A = this chain, B = another copy of it.
Amino acid sequence: MSETRVHNLAVSLDGFATGEPQSLEAPFGHAGERLHEWFFPTATFRAMAGGEGDPAAAPDDAFASRWGDRIGAEIMGANKFGPPGWQDDPDWRGWWGPNPPFHTPTFVLTHRPRGPVEMEGGTTFHFLDASPADALAAARDAAGGLDVRIGGGPTVVRDFLAEGLVDHLHVVIVPILLGRGVRLWDGLEGLEKDYDIESTTTPSGVTHLTFDRR
C-alpha cells in the first residue's frame, strides 16, 4: 500500500514551522536557520553536499534518514518552492540548484501553475492547481507504487492532515519561541485520535514526534 508521509518538519515550541516575512534573502523569515540547526550535523543533511555526519547527531539522524526511504513522489506548497512572487519569474526553478535533492516527480501546489520543468537527477517539477486529494492521486500515479512525501510548508501539511490524508507524520519540536510565522497545528483539534504518537528526546535538545495512523 502506498503511504503518505511527512518527514523532518521542524516547528518551534509555539508551533511555527517558518518565521516571517518569507523572502529571497530569508526563506524562513526571522526564524533564519534556527529551526534546522538540529538537522545540519546529521549524515542525511551532510550527504547532500558529499560530506559525513557528526556522530553526535546519530540520534537525530535515526529520524532524519527515513526521509527518502521508498518515496516515489513529493508534494510541496508554492511557498516552499520559492519566495513570494516567484510565479512572476519564468526562470525560477526552486531553491535547490540544477540537481534538487528530491530525485522523483515533485508536485508544486499553486494557484498559478505552469508547464513541467525537468531537472537533473530525476526531479521533475509539476505545477498543480488541485485539491489535496486530487494532488495526492496525481502524485500516487507518478510514484509507481512507492510512497508520497508531503514536503511542506506548514500550510500544505496542515491541509493534508485536516483532510485525513496523512499516514505518517514526523515533527521535530525545537525549543525556541518564534512568536510569529505560519503555524502547523491550527484547526486540527482531535488529530491525535487517529494516530499512535511517540515522542523521543535527543541530546541536541529537540523532541521527535511521530504520528502513525492507527
Beta-carbon contact of B175 and A192 below 8 Å: yes
A interface size (C-beta, 8 A) = 27
Enumerate chain B residues within 8 angstroms of A173, measured Cβ to Cβ.
173, 199, 207
Which of the 9-residue segments A78-86, A109-117, A147-155, A179-187 touches chain B?
A179-187
Does A64 sit within 8 A of B, measured CB to CB? no
Taking CB as reference atom, which chain B residue is nearest A186?
B14
Chain A to chain B contacts (Cβ below 8 Å), 24 pairs: A13-B185, A13-B192, A14-B186, A15-B15, A15-B185, A173-B173, A173-B199, A173-B207, A175-B192, A175-B197, A175-B199, A176-B192, A177-B191, A177-B192, A179-B186, A179-B190, A180-B189, A198-B205, A199-B201, A199-B206, A199-B207, A200-B201, A201-B201, A201-B207
- Where the two chains meet, the residues of A that have a C-beta atom closer than 8 Å to any C-beta of B are 13-15, 173, 175-180, 185-192, 197-201, 205-207, 209
